Amino acid sequence: MEQYLPQQVLELVEDISGQAAKQKQRVYLVGGVVRDLLLRDPSLRSGLRFDLDLVVEGDAVKLAQQVAETSQAKLLAHRRFGTAKLRYENFTLDLATARKETYAKPGALPTVTPGTLQDDLLRRDFSINAMAISLASKGYGKLVDPHEGQTDLEHRLIRILHPRSFSDDATRILRAVRYEQRLGFRLEAQTAQLLKRDIHMLDTISGDRIRHELELIFKEKRPEFVIKRLAELGALSRISPFLKGDGWIAEKFDRARRLKKPTQLPSLYFCLLIYSFSVTEIEQLLARLNIPAKLSRAMHDTLRLKTKLPFLDTSPLKPSEIYYLLREYEPLAIQVNAIASEPSMAQRYLQLFLTKLRYVRTSLDGEELKRLGISAGPEMGKVLQLLHKAKLDGEVRTKADEKKLALSLSPKL
């Protein structure tokens, strides 16, 4: 911990440990950070990815309140769930009261009751995520590993904790593959068998939860590996029979990453996944994943524009014509088509729109046109549009050019 946690985080963890001791509560570091510490993951040091999970045997909300009083943290408590979030400038801490979970039926959210650390580790997804580090003053830094997570880390295996794990919560199927591909691990033999047996349990998971897991996949460095593997295991077609994880997807995901900022990538990946879909196939996926309106518009636009590409490819167009043709589409749909299409005239038009045309503005505005004697209303609208077209096509450059053109247009109108 001393080697891999940023100083600020380490001090805070020590502070929490002290406060917990005063309240006679036991607190542990759990989940991803424990796994990554044992893997000596260098990205821990950068402090970029900080969300720490702590489990409290006792009352997490009470402990969080205490810590918030003596530090610069914003506290967000959920009494009902026994959880609290402490938000610092560069990272967040999640504190949860140790709990036991039971599943009334597959795919449902679990019923939660307070429990011990052992209960809390048993409800987790994989052995490598089911370890804890004690922060109690007696035994500070001691590893708690009841499910042989450390051995699985050494053997590079993803292993579930009991045979009903995937049917209790089939999002774990998607999580298993995500960790497998991120870490370069393998599914342990029985886990792989159970995963295949329980693939159909994905049907019990709500659209929102599946979508959330896909979003997590899209935050990975190489989501195409995860998608390909999900296809291989039959999980992708269980979500929608039309989804593919082939070489085309891999190539386009890679291209998207080289062109776009990380925040824009998830929506781009979604639209690339449906690039070969028909309208009905899109409709089916939108319904299954409960896709929000904006993304759903972008998906439909992606397809609508795709069918226009042959026309764009065979028609020499002026910049103003390109602009007025493309402006009715969601910019995301234009980006997706620029990435998904092959080098062509159509692709150059799309890129021209995205990098230049959509930012072109006239120098004159309505106020200035009024001063030139052009009255507000349809006439002015027309003049502004003609000026904009002339500017797009390079027929006017300076403000003086625009004035001249406006004055020559106005009497004709």
Residue 380 has, within 13 A of its CA and on its CB side, a CA count of 14
Amino acid at 131: M
- By C-beta, is 31 or 115 nearer to ligand ATP? 31
Q: For residue 317, give the nearest of 328, 308, 307, 306 by alpha carbon.
A: 308
Selected range binding ligand ATP among 168-176, 196-204, 301-309, 354-362, rule: CB under 6 A: 168-176
In the complex, residue closest to ligand ATP by CB: 32
What's the min distance (Å) between Cβ of 331 and ligand ATP? 30
The yes or no reply on residue 172 touching ligand ATP (CB under 6 A) is yes
Running DSSP on this structure, what letter comes out for residue 160? B
Is 149 one of the binding residues for ligand ATP (CB under 6 A)?
no
Q: Which amino acid is at 6?
A: P
CB 364 within 8 A of CB 406: yes
Length of the chain: 413
Stretch that binds ligand ATP, among 18-26, 165-173, 263-271, 354-362 (CB under 6 A): 165-173
The residues in 53-72 that bind ligand ATP, with binding defined as CB under 6 A, are: 53
Q: Which long-range contacts (CB under 8 A, 24 or more apart) does 66-71 make?
A: 66/19, 66/23, 67/15, 67/16, 67/19, 70/15, 70/19, 71/12, 71/15
* Under rule CB under 6 A, residue 181 binds ligand ATP: no
- Cβ of residue 303: shortest distance to ligand ATP, in angstroms? 32
Q: Which is nearer to Mg ion, 40 or 200 (CB)?
A: 40
* CB environment 240-266: b (16+ within 10 A), e (fewer): bebbbbeeebbebbeebbeeeeeeebb
Contact call for residue 191 and ligand ATP (CB under 6 A): no
Q: Which residues 5-44 are close enough to bind Mg ion by CB under 5 A? A: 32
Sheet holding 143-144, edge to edge: 74-78, 83-87, 92-97, 51-57, 26-30, 132-134, 143-144
Residue 84, helix vs strand vs coil: strand
Show the tokens assigned to 249: 């997807």
Give which of Mg ion, ligand ATP, none residue 125 binds (C-beta under 5 to 8 Å, depending on kind).
ligand ATP
Judged by CB under 6 A, the residue of 120, 145, 152, 169 near ligand ATP is 169
Interaction of residue 209 with ligand ATP, rule CB under 6 A: no
Q: Is residue 120 near ligand ATP by the rule CB under 6 A?
A: no
The nearest distance, CB 129 to ligand ATP, in angstroms, is: 3
Q: Which is nearer to Mg ion, 32 or 47 (CB)?
A: 32
Task: Give the nearest distance from C-beta 31 to Mg ion in angstroms.
Answer: 6
Q: Which does 159 bind (CB under 5 to 8 A by kind): ligand ATP, Mg ion, none?
A: none
Q: Are 29 and 129 in contact (CB under 8 A)?
A: no
Q: Does 301 bind ligand ATP (CB under 6 A)?
A: no
Residue type, 379: E
Nearest 5°: phi and psi at 110?
Answer: -75, 155
**Binding-residue total with Mg ion (CB under 5 A):** 1
Least Å distance, CB 170 to ligand ATP, is 9
Q: Which stretch binds ligand ATP (CB under 6 A): 134-142, 164-172, 229-237, 259-267?
A: 164-172
Give the one residue of 57, 120, 125, 152 binding ligand ATP; rule: CB under 6 A: 125
Residue 13's closest CA among 223, 21, 112? 21
Rg (CA), the chain: 28
Candidates 32, 114, 234, 331; binder of ligand ATP (CB under 6 A) is 32
Label the pairing between strands 92-97 and 83-87.
Answer: antiparallel
Which span (78-86, 122-130, 268-276, 321-329) binds ligand ATP, by CB under 6 A? 122-130
| Contacted entry of ligand ATP, Mg ion, none for residue 319, CB cut-off 5 to 8 Å set by kind | none
Which residues bind to ligand ATP, rule: CB under 6 A?
31-32, 53, 124-125, 129-130, 169, 171-172
Which residues bind to Mg ion, rule: CB under 5 A?
32
